[in-house]
Structure 1
Amino acid sequence: MARATLIGFLAVAMWALLALFTDASGQVPPFLLSAICFAIGTLVGLGARLVPSAKPVEKVLIPASVWVVGIAGLFGYHFFYFTALRNAPAVEASLIAYLWPLLIVLGSALMPGERLRWFHVAGAALGLAGTFLIISKGGRLSFESRYAFGYTMAAVCALIWTAYSLLSRRFPAVPTSIVTWFCLATAVLSLACHLALEETIWPATTGQWLAVVGLGLGPVGAAFYAWDHGVKRGNIQVLGAASYAAPLLSTLILIAAGAATASTHILLACLLITGGAVLAAKSLLFGRSPAAE
């Protein structure tokens, strides 16, 4: 379980590169960027099939519900996230959308064989507090009723990713390679949305194209394969709480790249998110203590 949890956290680490690569991709509209990146993500899955495996891949009959969950999860999350950003301030919309790690931790209590502990909830809450500091840049949020539709879309976005992650765990026999086709379907649907809703703007420089390829290979590619493996076979409570590391790592990467400035609230956020992740992973890191739990 520890190895699968670590693989799942690799997805979180890759998502930390999302902001840097997206910023470097130029003015490519969101749905076109999503279509290109998920097309590359499809190639990642197809390429992985060419790597010799020590164990033969068993053929598994894929239930229709798995296709619905997978495609709705990947495409639905991005569709509602982009819609939220178009109809509400990015700071507030992002914070609402980033309720999914906490919802995963809480929702895991409903899963067969799972038990929610106090330190899972406390760790996720600390992570949410740290994320608030990062997204709000240490200031205050201002929720206005005129942006209610955008806030609602952000909440739907959080619910969709939570449902996708939790429901994926119910199908451990379904191989992670199925994500290849989820990516392909998301690329096609994103292209359709682009053609219907956006003006086409391609990356203008080699650097922008490299950023787009980087997105497709990592944050919008291999990350989804790693996440699928992690939520199916790892400790989902730990993964949920540890997911709050993504905005922190993203901010630290932007600081290292000179695109952001270090500050006191970032240091405090670092302590909150790190402490929350360690607390949530208490039983995994230090062994179970029934008396304490």
Structure 2
Amino acid sequence: MQLHRSHLTHSPWLGGGAATLAVVLWALVPLLAAQAGELPPLRLSALALLAGALGTLPMARRRRHRDAPLRPLHGVLVYLGVPLLITGAVGACFAAFTLAPAEEAALILYTWPVLFLLASQWLVLGRLSASSLIGAGLAFSGAALLVAPQALAGGVSGAWGGYLLAALGAVCWALYSLAARVSAWRLGERMPHLLLIASVLTGSASLALEGIIALPSLEVLMVAVSLGLGPYGLAMLAWDRAMRDPLGHRVGNLAHAVPVLATLFLVLAGVATPDWRLPVASALVVAGSMTACREPARGGHLLAFRRFRRS
């Protein structure tokens, strides 16, 4: 498996700017999803992914040369595995927001950068550093702070389904970020097709589980289109560009700001009620993410990714 190492001579600000754009757009997801409450989560996911597929079509970079064809196994992973990850990430995200408070589900969902770091470090080094384990413990303790009241009040009930779906979405996003670093797969160039396949998969699941419903209102439809063009369109391309940056392993640290921004947007919009647990949990998630991203001794993550390239 080979990871991207860009040979472009673009400004070092390009990768950081792309990652910042993706982070801001992703932080808007809980707020936008709250505006589409009348639409079932899978139906909203299918519409958003379809809008993302159409929106990324002109933005995807045209191939300047003919790439070597994907091996059969890689083709299955790219055109079936990656759309399934996108379907799981987006569908679980919207479903979580309907079963649990959006601000709480969002904080659990946005622990995915820590999961991404743990998975990539394990694949590269075959072990986890002490800083990664401590950081993961801090981040997950922030998520646990939100789950604890439910556990003490009524056991496995209430918003637990939303919490579990948010955790599933976090796993899917972490695995997608790993896939985005595989150079031969060129997910950014294939993004319109991947989003379209994910939309078909999610739409099929919606018809099977949610049935046929009336057409949404124009306002809700515009929210779905905004989700597709922004967080699941432009942001996906921007994140792909950031991950292909030579310093992508550092630029990706900007993703740790997503839970704080998402919570801030919800509170400012009046969707979430300020609660002492929210800032404390946000601080734990961000502190844990930053601690986990501290480079291990003797070479750091850059050396680790170079080893992964040669594997």
Normalising by structure 1, report the TM-score: 0.74
In 1, the alpha carbon distance for the partners of 2:285 and 2:157 equals 32
Establish whether residue 39 from structure 1 lines up as the match of residue 29 from structure 2.
no
Task: State the match for 2:149 in structure 1.
Answer: 140
Does the 8 Å CA contact 2:112/2:173 hold for their aligned counterparts?
Answer: yes
Give the share of equivalent positions with the same residue, in percent: 29
What one-letter code is carried by the residue in structure 2 that aligns with 1:202? L
CA RMSD of aligned residues (A): 3.9
In 2, the alpha carbon distance for the partners of 1:257 and 1:85 equals 16
In 2, the alpha carbon distance for the partners of 1:120 and 1:237 equals 15
Instruction: Report Cα offsets for 1:117-166 as digits up to 9, x if no partner.
Output: 54444444433344445x55xx6241845799887766554443333322
Establish whether residue 59 from structure 1 lines up as the match of residue 71 from structure 2.
no
Closer/same/farther in 2, CA of residues 66 and 17 from structure 1, 3 Å limit = same
Task: State the match for 1:202 in structure 2.
Answer: 215
What one-letter code is carried by the residue in structure 1 that aligns with 2:64? V
Does the 8 Å CA contact 2:42/2:95 hold for their aligned counterparts?
Answer: no
In 2, the alpha carbon distance for the partners of 1:79 and 1:175 equals 20
In 2, the alpha carbon distance for the partners of 1:251 and 1:211 equals 19
Closer/same/farther in 2, CA of residues 262 and 214 from structure 1, 3 Å limit = same
Closer/same/farther in 2, CA of residues 82 and 20 from structure 1, 3 Å limit = closer
Deviation at 1:8, TM superposition (A): 3.5
Establish whether residue 18 from structure 1 lines up as the match of residue 29 from structure 2.
yes
Deviation at 1:292, TM superposition (A): 11
In 1, the alpha carbon distance for the partners of 2:294 and 2:92 equals 34
Aligned length: 278
What one-letter code is carried by the residue in structure 1 that aligns with 2:205? C
Gaps of 5+ in 1: none
2:86 aligned residue (39, 51, 74): 74
Task: State the match for 2:225 in structure 1.
Answer: 213
Task: State the match for 1:261 in structure 2.
Answer: 273
Establish whether residue 187 from structure 1 lines up as the match of residue 199 from structure 2.
yes
Deviation at 1:291, TM superposition (A): 10
In 1, the alpha carbon distance for the partners of 2:197 and 2:180 equals 17
In 2, the alpha carbon distance for the partners of 1:58 and 1:153 equals 41
Query: Which of 268-277 and 189-198 deviates more?
Result: 268-277
Task: State the match for 2:308 in structure 1.
Answer: none
In 2, the alpha carbon distance for the partners of 1:166 and 1:112 equals 12
Task: State the match for 2:8 in structure 1.
Answer: none
User: What is the SS of the residue equivalent to 2:207?
Assistant: helix
Task: State the match for 2:238 in structure 1.
Answer: 226
Does the 8 Å CA contact 1:130/1:270 hold for their aligned counterparts?
Answer: yes
1:157-172 alignment to 2 at 5 Å?
A: 157-171=169-183
Does the 8 Å CA contact 2:107/2:282 hold for their aligned counterparts?
Answer: no
User: What is the SS of the residue equivalent to 1:47?
Assistant: coil
What one-letter code is carried by the residue in structure 1 that aligns with 2:40? P
Normalising by structure 2, report the TM-score: 0.70
In 2, the alpha carbon distance for the partners of 1:154 and 1:261 equals 20
Task: State the match for 1:90 in structure 2.
Answer: 100
Deviation at 1:174, TM superposition (A): 1.7
What one-letter code is carried by the residue in structure 2 that aligns with 1:90? A
Deviation at 1:182, TM superposition (A): 0.7
Establish whether residue 108 from structure 1 lines up as the match of residue 93 from structure 2.
no
In 1, the alpha carbon distance for the partners of 2:97 and 2:231 equals 19
In 1, the alpha carbon distance for the partners of 2:271 and 2:166 equals 26
Does the 8 Å CA contact 1:172/1:232 hold for their aligned counterparts?
Answer: no
Establish whether residue 248 from structure 1 lines up as the match of residue 260 from structure 2.
yes
In 2, the alpha carbon distance for the partners of 1:264 and 1:171 equals 43
